[in-house]
Structure 1
Amino acid sequence: MSSKQTKTDVILIGAGIMSATLGTLLKELVPDWKITVFEKLASAGEESSNEWNNAGTGHSALCELNYTVEKPDGSIDISKAVKINEQFQESRQFWSYLVNSNLIRNPEDFIRPLPHLSLVQGEKNVEFLKKRFEALSNNPLFHGMEFSEDPRKLAEWIPLIMNGRNDNEPIAATKIDTGTDVNFGALTRMLFDHLQRKNVEINYNHQVDDIKRTSDGSWDLKVRNVQSGLVEHHQAKFVFIGGGGGSLPLLQKSGIPEGKHIGGFPVSGLFMVCKNPEVVAQHHAKVYGKAKVGAPPMSVPHLDTRYIDGKKSLLFGPFAGFSPKFLKTGSMFDLLGSVKPDNVLTMLAAGAKNVPLTKYLIQQVMLSKEQRMEELREFIPNAKSEDWDIVVAGQRVQVIKDTAAGGKGTLQFGTEVICAADGSISALLGASPGASTAVSVMLDLLSRCFPQQIQEWEPKIKEMIPSYGVSLVKNPELIREIDVQTSRALGLSSELALV
């Protein structure tokens, strides 16, 4: 039974890092707009943004090998790495603006400096890493990157990984000290605390069950209080669907043409966490390897130092798995319910194309703890089972769509924003690099959904993000200036400040 109907300017669905970022940007650009948030869980940042549900890497392509591709001629394509790095620089600038403006405090609670390393074994992989290093180290965005295939040097960089490693297989690593560990859960909670102080109405334990267009072009949301069962209707001129894996079903309910012929493929994840402080103390870096053949990009193995609740932790993973749920707190019928007449052929085509991936995920699900330990020992030869526990990480829903390059039912690995033609509603789908590029993604959303206002907003955007609209890679001096400023504001190490 409906109890009330209210109107607002903007509705944000989901209290994750994306809604937090968009809400914070809008409050700086148009302080008088009324913003309402609905989150079905009891607090902010509890699904994909939660610190235990993601890798906590400030994704800037410093160590992630899947962002640099070897072309048929043997050269390395670094264009994606450059783009992601530039996007992360925008996030750093925005966070620095918030800290310098005293809108959020204690940046050490959400971001810390941490070396980023890429590690490979085997002659072919070593050659690839060397070429990757040569291509990236000439770029000002990757200044300070080092390469070594000397086991003695690697033992200085990553003693825990090199200790007990007695095989003669070639091994190499790159290292850059300007990497970061980011607690996106803590950052999300900080931003929502800030929004609450700015009189944004945040409704926890409220689930959006339906979205319909009204006669005047705005959107009517049917919202249910999950504790009392009370149903309310809320109307807004603009709606952002930032519900993680729950975004696709709501996008489908909106009925916009742009949301048709799109499906979702859920992938779950596990991490192994070290409970022995003596082992944790021996490692201080994020070390990314190469994904195994047939593995999805989000399954690149990595051994990470993490800072969670102020405590140093050590995690290894992720181990991929399959669950039909679109959220950790979702339903076993999520995947089935997302199949509609307009996307059924797309979904079937994706199933036919991705049989190897499905087999891989099933194999991952069936792994015993000891089998997972064997994979861990490829990183830490002396790892002991009793030192490690398994934690269940978040659910990610990869976008499936028809593309010119991949054809019908192409599985997309990345972050994608779907906007209505009139800009009145938008949804964020997909996964990594996700949170790290939230500021860039939301700025793009603003330009697409508010084309009339974006020019008026530009001076304020440039005040918050000086590199907005500028190619950093073509402006080395601006890179240096931004690096020094953001490093100072966020308490990070700065290689560029030393040169």
Structure 2
Amino acid sequence: MKTDVILIGAGVMSATLGSLLKELVPEWEIKVFEKLAKAGEESSNEWNNAGTGHSALCELNYTSEKPDGSVDISKAIQINEQFQLSRQFWSYLVNSKLIRNPQDFIMPIPHMSMVQGQENVTFLKKRFEAMSNNPLFQGMEFSDDPEKLKEWIPLIMEGRTSSEPIAATKIDSGTDVNFGALTRMLFDYLQTQNVEMHYKHSVDNIKRAADGSWELKVRNLDNGSVERHTAKFVFIGGGGGSLHLLQKSGIPEGKHIGGFPVSGLFMVCNNPEVIEQHHAKVYGKAKVGAPPMSVPHLDTRYIDNKKSLLFGPFAGFSPKFLKTGSMFDLITSVKPDNVLTMLAAGVKEMALTKYLIQQVLLSNEKRVEELREFIPNAKGEDWDIVVAGQRVQVIKDTEAGGKGTLQFGTEVITAADGSIAALLGASPGASTAVHVMLEILARCFPQHIKEWEPKIKEMIPSYGVSLLNNPELFQEILTSTAQTLGLVEKELAYN
């Protein structure tokens, strides 16, 4: 069965790519294959990620201290600009009545960074000075005054007896994003555009046909029947499941790449009185030896239009590449071409291995102790444990890091002829989905990108423009998207 485009995996990435393509070339036929029963059930699901609209307002791992003591904010600028692309595209969809009720997937919430100890306070102040002078981070406030912090974060300050210095930054233009709800909305819209959705269908194999197209062997999980589907372009957006399919495609660009799975746990507050006392996403600093995705944070979340409070993540280890994956995922991903890369990473990442073992062995009491570093008065009985999604960190050979370097972030792999693309990796992932999909369009459809440009600019006015160098455009976009997405009261106050 022939089609133009096949999207593997019904997560936020496929939903975003499908939505962009339907606006750019409505006549193209698109099919989606998802092995679970509905969309947005793995990494995109609201309980399987932190729900932070990652725009580098509060995540300390996007700003590093240079040897001379200054703070490098270049990565923070990049991620902020990428998130603005997502906001513009979502606003376009709302304004065009293609999706409705943005409050079902995005809410305004202050983003804060909080640190303890003199050295960390000094770093945060330097970071604040570097960022608050930048148009993208205007409106950021800094305080190391305990009285001010009691106003900002009463739950965190109450009962704090330590004399250790504490400081925080706060910016009101942050967001909480329910990527599960957004994914379901986008696929509901795509179904009205004749996109064929095939749930409970597993892609077992993928190979190149004689004419250069891709042939997929697809198994219907309900009745076991096998179908063959061919497409000129295939996108592998199966979260942790993408690596195996990339390997099966046999493209040279997929060689020498490995994956290391890390699972996460969150503590969820079950006491409404406690939930009401906190209103922010507060990110701390990762412990020494801990990977960047394990930065502890206390998050106000909106799930099913209900306010909730989560703390975490606690890292864990499972050899599965997906929550619904197989215990053999890790071992079967080791191939002759990536075995040395994987072994080199094992040697390099001893600190990470040690950290994961410690995290796996954490008792519930120990988790509550870590929570008390944020909420001194926390009671164990007010908190339940939720298992979050699996994230497969990419391992590859890089010039900077050498053989077997663990990549924290999102990786796009495309074939030289642009006929197939795969998305691997983790955070900032979903927040930058629009940027990542625009990159795929540019790499895989260079022959069309010029004719598509006017439409892309209509959907995403800052496409191809640096917002950092155009602060007026940034302000205009921030204000208009805030109005369209219903984030307006908070952000107008801050402007």
Q: TM-score higher than 0.5 here?
A: yes
Instruction: Name 1:306's counterpart in structure 2.
Output: 301
1:455-474 to structure 2, matched below 5 A, reads 455-474=450-469
One-letter code aligned to 1:97: Y
Contact 2:482 2:491 in 1 (8 A): no
One-letter code aligned to 1:220: E
Instruction: Name 2:477's counterpart in structure 1.
Output: 482
Distance (Å, rounded) in 2 between the aligned partners of 1:495 and 1:471: 21
Distance (Å, rounded) in 1 between the aligned partners of 2:479 and 2:114: 28
Could you state the TM-score of these two structures normalised by the residue count of structure 1?
0.98
1:102 maps to 2:94 = no
Deviations 1:87-132 (A, max 9, x none): 0000000000000000000000000000000000000000000000
User: Residue 189 of structure 1: which of 179, 184, 189 is its match?
Assistant: 184
Contact 2:139 2:494 in 1 (8 A): no
Instruction: Name 1:346's counterpart in structure 2.
Output: 341
Instruction: Name 2:59's counterpart in structure 1.
Output: 64
One-letter code aligned to 2:435: S
**Secondary structure of the structure 1 residue equivalent to 2:98:** coil
Structure 1 residue 416: deviation in Å? 0.5
Distance (Å, rounded) in 2 between the aligned partners of 1:433 and 1:256: 26
User: Residue 370 of structure 2: which of 372, 375, 380 is its match?
Assistant: 375
Structure 1 residue 498: deviation in Å? 5.6
One-letter code aligned to 1:246: G
User: Residue 12 of structure 1: which of 3, 7, 10 is its match?
Assistant: 7
Gaps of 5+ in 2: none
Structure 1 residue 355: deviation in Å? 1.2
**Secondary structure of the structure 1 residue equivalent to 2:233:** strand
Contact 1:480 1:496 in 2 (8 A): no
Deviations 1:118-161 (A, max 9, x none): 00000000000000000000011101000000000000000000
User: Residue 324 of structure 2: which of 314, 329, 352 is its match?
Assistant: 329
Distance (Å, rounded) in 2 between the aligned partners of 1:370 and 1:197: 50
Distance (Å, rounded) in 1 between the aligned partners of 2:402 and 2:369: 38
Distance (Å, rounded) in 1 between the aligned partners of 2:213 and 2:190: 23
User: Residue 175 of structure 2: which of 180, 186, 189 is its match?
Assistant: 180
1:82-481 to structure 2, matched below 5 A, reads 82-481=77-476
Distance (Å, rounded) in 2 between the aligned partners of 1:204 and 1:8: 17
Distance (Å, rounded) in 2 between the aligned partners of 1:225 and 1:373: 44
Distance (Å, rounded) in 2 between the aligned partners of 1:198 and 1:489: 23
Distance (Å, rounded) in 1 between the aligned partners of 2:152 and 2:480: 27
Distance (Å, rounded) in 2 between the aligned partners of 1:75 and 1:17: 36
Deviations 1:158-217 (A, max 9, x none): 000000001110000000000000000000000000000110000000000000100000
Distance (Å, rounded) in 2 between the aligned partners of 1:156 and 1:226: 54
Deviations 1:5-58 (A, max 9, x none): x00000000000000000000000000000000000000000000000000000
Contact 1:161 1:381 in 2 (8 A): yes
Contact 2:31 2:196 in 1 (8 A): yes
Distance (Å, rounded) in 2 between the aligned partners of 1:495 and 1:125: 29
**Secondary structure of the structure 2 residue equivalent to 1:175:** strand
Question: How many percent identity over aligned positions?
Answer: 82
**Secondary structure of the structure 2 residue equivalent to 1:336:** helix
- Per the alignment, do residues 219 and 139 of structure 1 end up closer, same or farther by CA in structure 2, a change over 3 Å counting? same
One-letter code aligned to 1:147: F
Instruction: Name 1:3's counterpart in structure 2.
Output: none
**Secondary structure of the structure 1 residue equivalent to 2:446:** coil
Contact 1:483 1:496 in 2 (8 A): no
Distance (Å, rounded) in 2 between the aligned partners of 1:369 and 1:227: 39
Structure 1 residue 496: deviation in Å? 6.2
Deviations 1:228-257 (A, max 9, x none): 101000000000000000000000000000
Distance (Å, rounded) in 2 between the aligned partners of 1:335 and 1:37: 25
One-letter code aligned to 1:404: E
One-letter code aligned to 2:38: S
Distance (Å, rounded) in 1 between the aligned partners of 2:449 and 2:272: 50
One-letter code aligned to 1:336: I
Contact 1:16 1:48 in 2 (8 A): yes
Structure 1 residue 495: deviation in Å? 3.9
- Per the alignment, do residues 498 and 375 of structure 1 end up closer, same or farther by CA in structure 2, a change over 3 Å counting? closer
Distance (Å, rounded) in 2 between the aligned partners of 1:139 and 1:446: 30
Deviations 1:394-447 (A, max 9, x none): 000000000000000000000010000000000000000000000000000100
**Secondary structure of the structure 1 residue equivalent to 2:28:** coil
Distance (Å, rounded) in 1 between the aligned partners of 2:493 and 2:317: 45
